Amino acid sequence: MEVALSYFLMSFTDPYLLFLVAMGTLAGVYVGAMPGISVTMAASVLISFTFSWDVNAALALMVGVYCGGVYGGSRTAILLNIPGTPAAVATALDGYPLAKLGEAGKAIGICTVVSVIGGFFGIIVLAIGAPIVSDVALLFAPRDFLLLALIGLLLVGSLSEGGLAKGIFAAALGVVIGLVGLDSLTAQPRLTFDSPSMLGGISYVAAMIGFFGLAEAFYQMRLLHVAPVKQDVSRITPSIATVLKFLPLSLRSSIIGVIIGALPGTGGDIAALIAYDQAKRTTKKPTRPFGQGAYEGLVAPESANNAAVGGAFIPMLTLGIPGDAVTAVIIGALYVHGLKPGPMLMIETPHLFWFIVGALVLANAFLLPIGLTGIKVMARIMSVPRAVLIPCIILLSVVGTYAIQNSMTDVYWMFAFGILGYFLKAYNFPVGPIILGVILGPLMDSSFRRAVMSAHNDVLEFLASFLTSPISACLTVFFLVLVFSQTPLWTKIFGRRAAVNATAPSQ
Amino acid sequence: MDESQARQPGELSFIVILLIGAVALLWEAYRIEGFPSLSGAGIFPVLTAGVMAVSLIVLLVKETRSRTQVQQEASSATEGWLVQVAPPKIIGYMVLCGLYVASIEHAGFWLASSSFLMISLLLLYKRNLIPVAVITGGVVAFIYIVFATIFQVYLP
């Protein structure tokens, strides 16, 4: 317990780590606020510079960037109607109408406070829930990890834009990228096209920077002409009465956020949209109609997407399965640092868990002063033209990719993924599942083959094993329900029932 | 026709190109151990490349049933592709980035990066040479100080 506490407080007491968390949060807020730079892009570019660092220092920076980035995305959503991050899409629905009504300052203030409330809620759940999940995860068989990874990919594939087929293709593409190189069990070359340079595999950080950094930079060129709008952002600290008024909704939305965040594959973006929908349905007297500047429409998504940060760390640290695209990037970084997120992480390196929890608390605490001050600097940063930003992102992407293992081959891969990513985005293919697939591919491969081996290579025994243990049976049922929910039959049954329910009150 | 049923110009060709890539991957996966055993090294690559190919075939069937949605300003599908999907400005900039990446090993990182930044800013930012040179100098100095000196990152 004492050791855990000392690691929890480490980032508070070590000035260097304190500085890194603060700088990470600051960078995250400002980078997240820049239209066109998603928090995933920021994390994937920034973490590549930390590979030579001590693991604690690298984690301190990453945690800060993650927390700051998720919050920072709300700024541009409110001021420019351009969500800085996917998690801020729901925020723009009522945030921008508020800015048009001249209440941008008040909206940003409330956003900051509820983001911090949501963030702390998520961290509390992480601190309590992760050790429990980790204990349960020790009972997991390889087939359970396979099912969890499949559930994650199916969830992210089905919920992303462009439809299920595009989502599944994207996830499978990611898995294939993750499988290139020597097989971890038999050392056989796989998918290398007889090229010796591919035997070592494709660096997943190069893939991440390519798909999220370069592709996004190319895509942002479509919006070169969009000019920033100046808003009145004075007086942003909300009164205590205002905070107390929105507290119940904030806590309700935080619960949704942390649950959605903890599901493998789903993160702040989906949590925010579900919380917004929940607020819309349950708030009887909103400050204004939803979509026209209701503060409730701002409180719900912002509480949820920040609570989802803590939630997303649960499957990442306890199961080695990313909660969303950013945690997929962080898992990649942990691998580079020689750590293996999963059930054994809490046993072999429990201090790391408490260090992350401590850094998250600190980053959330920093959000308040950073969010409520520095508005003028923020306004200036946000007005940096895309025409200047895009070449800088490309330059940083090259430097960051090369820094991973000092290899120009990685840079060439990054460039190729950037071009492919641009066209995938242009044709409405989701990019998030690719990164999840890259991380989950090797885990699914080894879990599948271990599960088959433990069933003595017998197909029937292998299939029966999914129903023999309670954990496997629960996961199998959940997976099958998810698959069924994507069929036309599901829409026929439940779509009709929903239509009946919707018309019932008016009759 | 609602928008979800409409496809972008060139989408069918893009799916066909991806499908050719998926089939090539499937063949490469099959080459690992021929018809794979259930726990062999080839099973998962075959399954995944198969999933890629099947999802693309599903998409292809779905998209062939929908109509291309071309914006009003474009008169043909090719023109629509150039307006909606791959504007010449973006394709040209991709080529410039490709040249930059290819030139790093020959010209060195600093020269290649400075030239790339200058040309990019002249093309995109459309300002005089002096502000462009100042921004380029500032960005290059920032990279040198922060990444090369403080973070001690190896540069190409």
pLDDT tens digits, B116-138: 999 999 998 888 888 899 999 99
Question: Which of A193, A422, A427 has the CB atom closest to B28's CB atom?
Answer: A193
What integer pLDDT is reported at residue A72 of this predicted model? 82
C-alpha span between A438 and A431 (Å, rounded): 11
Across the interface, whether the CB atoms of B8 and A427 are under 8 A apart is answered yes
Best-predicted range by mean pLDDT (A32-46, A162-176, A214-228): A162-176
Segment B81-94 shows an average pLDDT of 88
Q: What pLDDT is stored for residue A497 in this prediction?
A: 65
CA angle centred on A344, ends A341 and A350, rounded to 5°: 85
Does the beta-carbon distance from B93 to A218 stay under 8 Å?
A: yes
Q: Which of A112-126, A241-255, B62-76, B101-115 has the lowest mean pLDDT?
A: B62-76
Mean pLDDT confidence for A405-432: 90
Confidence of residue A109 (pLDDT cuts 50, 70, 90): confident
Q: Percent of chain B scored above 90 by pLDDT?
A: 47
> CB distance A176–B52 less than 8 Å?
yes
Residue of A nearest to B87 (CA): A222
pLDDT higher than threshold 70 for residue A499 = no
Q: How confident is the model at residue B73 (pLDDT cuts 50, 70, 90)?
A: low
Hunting for tokens 């952002």 — which residue is that? A233
* Predicted confidence band of residue B2 (pLDDT cuts 50, 70, 90): very low
| DSSP string covering A289-320 | -TTSS-THHHHHHHHHHHHHHHHHHHHHHHHS
pLDDT digits (tens, 9 = 90+) for A127-146: 999 888 888 888 888 888 88
φ, ψ for residue A207, nearest 5 deg: -65, -45
Residues B8, A412: C-beta atoms closer than 8 Å:
no
User: What are A280's two structure tokens?
Assistant: 């819309």
- Confidence class for position A389, pLDDT limits 50, 70, 90: confident
Mean pLDDT, chain B, integer? 86
Put simply, the answer to whether B153 touches A52 (Cβ < 8 Å) is yes
pLDDT classification of A31: cutoffs 50, 70, 90: confident
H or E, element range at A205 = helix A204-208
Q: Is the CB of A221 less than 8 angstroms away from the CB of B93?
A: yes
> For residue A329, which of A50, A89, A74 has the smallest C-alpha distance?
A50
Whether A313 and A257 have beta carbons less than 8 Å apart is answered as no
> How close B64 comes to chain A (CA, Å)?
14
- Mark yes or no for CB contact A190/B29 under 8 Å: yes
Task: Locate A340 and state its tokens.
Answer: 């293996």
Tell me what pLDDT residue B3 has: 42
Distance CA A492, CA A472 (A): 29
Query: Which residues are registered as beta bridge partners of A190?
Result: A181
Give, for A206, the enclosing helix (H) or strand (E). Answer: helix A204-208
Share of chain A above pLDDT 70, in %: 90
Give residues with Cβ within 8 angstroms of B138, minimum separation 6. Answer: none
Q: Is the pLDDT of residue A200 over 80?
A: yes
- Closest-CA residue in chain A for B92? A218
- Cα of A296 to nearest chain B Cα, Å: 30
Provide mean pLDDT across the span A85-96.
80
Distance CA B33, CA B41 (A): 7
Indicate the pairing of strand A181-182 with strand A189-190. Answer: antiparallel
pLDDT band at A47 (very low <50, low <70, confident <90, very high): confident
The domain limits of chain A are 2-487
Averaged pLDDT, B104-123: 92
DSSP A21-67: HHHHHHHHHHHHHSTT--HHHHHHHHHGGGTTS-HHHHHHHHHHHHH
For chains A and B, count residue pairs whose Cβ atoms are closer than 8 Å.
160
Band of the pLDDT at A402, cuts 50, 70, 90? confident
Phi, psi of A182 (to 5 degrees): -75, 135
Helices (DSSP H) in chain B: which residue ranges?
11-33, 43-65, 77-80, 88-107, 109-124, 129-142
- The answer to whether A172 contacts B49, with C-beta atoms less than 8 Å apart, is yes
Q: Six-digit token pair at A261?
A: 């965040």
Nearest chain B residue to A454 by CA distance is B39
The angle that helices B129-142 and B109-124 make with each other, rounded to 10 degrees, is: 140
Q: Is residue A273 within 8 Å of A83, Cβ to Cβ? A: no
**Distance separating alpha carbons of residues A283 and A264, to the nearest angstrom:** 29
A1 pLDDT higher than 90: no
Q: Are A306 and A260 in contact (CB under 8 A)?
A: no
Res A122 pLDDT > 90 = yes
Of A342 and B92, the structure prediction assigns the larger pLDDT to B92
Mean pLDDT of the region A419-444: 88
How many CB atoms sit inside 10 A of residue A381's CB? 15
Q: How far is A487 from chain B, CA to nearest CA, in Å? A: 14
How far from A417 is each of A346, A434, B103, B129, CA to CA, in Å?
34, 11, 19, 32
Of B42, B62, B94, the CB nearest to A218: B94
- The yes-or-no verdict on residue A413 having pLDDT over 50 is yes
Closest CA to A329 of A345, A344, A343, A313: A313
| Minimum-distance CB partner of B45 among A50, A165, A191 | A191
Cα torsion at A85, A89, A93, A98 (round to 10°)? -10
> Which chain A residues contact residue B45 at CB under 8 A?
176, 179, 190-191
Contact criterion met (CB < 8 Å) for B43 and A449: yes
Give the pLDDT of residue A191.
92
pLDDT, tens only, A258-281: 988 888 767 787 788 888 888 888
For the entire predicted model, the pTM comes to 0.79
Pair A67, A39: CB distance under 8 Å:
no
CB A389 within 8 A of CB A209: no
Shortest Cα distance from B14 to chain A (angstroms)? 8
DSSP assignment, residue A288?
Answer: S
**Across A315-324, A466-475, B43-52, least confident range:** A315-324
Torsion angles phi and psi, residue A304, rounded to 5: -65, -45
d(CA A125, CA A133): 11
Which residues neighbour B13 within 8 Å (Cβ) at sequence distance 6 or greater?
A: none
Token reading at A109: 């203030």
Cβ of A190 and B41 within 8 Å?
yes
- Nearest alpha-carbon partner for B22 in A194, A316, A420: A420
Smallest CA–CA distance, residue A127 to chain B, in Å, is 32
Q: Which residues of A touch B29 (CB under 8 A)?
A: 190-191
Helix axes A104-137, A350-372, angle to 10 degrees: 170
> What are the residues whose beta carbons fall under 8 Å from the beta carbon of A459, sequence distance 6 or more?
B38
Of B38, B41, B101, the CB nearest to A183: B41
Q: What pLDDT is attached to residue A234? A: 62
Q: What's the gap in Å between the CA of A410 and the closest CA on chain B?
A: 11
Percent of chain A with pLDDT strictly greater than 90: 21
Both tokens of A98, joined, read 């508020």
pLDDT of res. A250:
93
Q: Is the pLDDT of residue A507 over 50?
A: no
Contact B12, B64 (CB under 8 A): yes
Q: Give the pair of three-digit tokens for residue A15.
A: 């000035």
Q: How far is B1 from chain A (nearest CA, A)?
A: 17
Per-residue model confidence (pLDDT) at position A506: 40
Mean pLDDT score across all residues of chain A:
84
Query: Bridge-partner residues for A182, per DSSP?
Result: A189
Where residue B152 falls (left for φ over 0; alpha for ψ -120 to 50; beta otherwise) is left
For A443, the closest chain B residue by CA position comes to B44
H-run or E-run covering A189: strand A189-190
Q: Encoding tokens for residue A315?
A: 């499957």
pLDDT in tens, A277-309: 888 888 888 888 888 888 999 999 999 989 998
Residue A225 to residue A68: CA distance in whole angstroms: 27
Distance from CA of B40 to the nearest CA of A (A): 7
Residues of A in contact with B43 (CB under 8 A): 448-449, 452
CA distances from A390 to A5, A7, A216, A397, A459 (A): 43, 39, 9, 11, 52
CA pair distance B19, B60, nearest whole angstrom: 9
Q: Which of A83-92, A325-334, A348-357 has the highest mean pLDDT?
A: A348-357
- CB-based contacts of A271, cutoff 8 Å, min separation 6: A87, A256, A257, A260, A261, A304, A305, A307, A308, A311
**Hey, what long-range contacts does A492-496 have (CB within 8 A, 24 or more apart)?**
none
**Chain A residues lying within 8 Å of B90, measured CB to CB:** 218, 221-222, 422
Contact A181, A413 (CB under 8 A): no
Within 8 A by CB and 6+ apart from A219, the residues are A422, A425, A426
Q: Tokens 């390889």 belong to which residue?
A: A142
Q: Which residue of A has its CA nearest to B126?
A: A387
Contact flag A448-B44 (C-beta cutoff 8 Å): yes
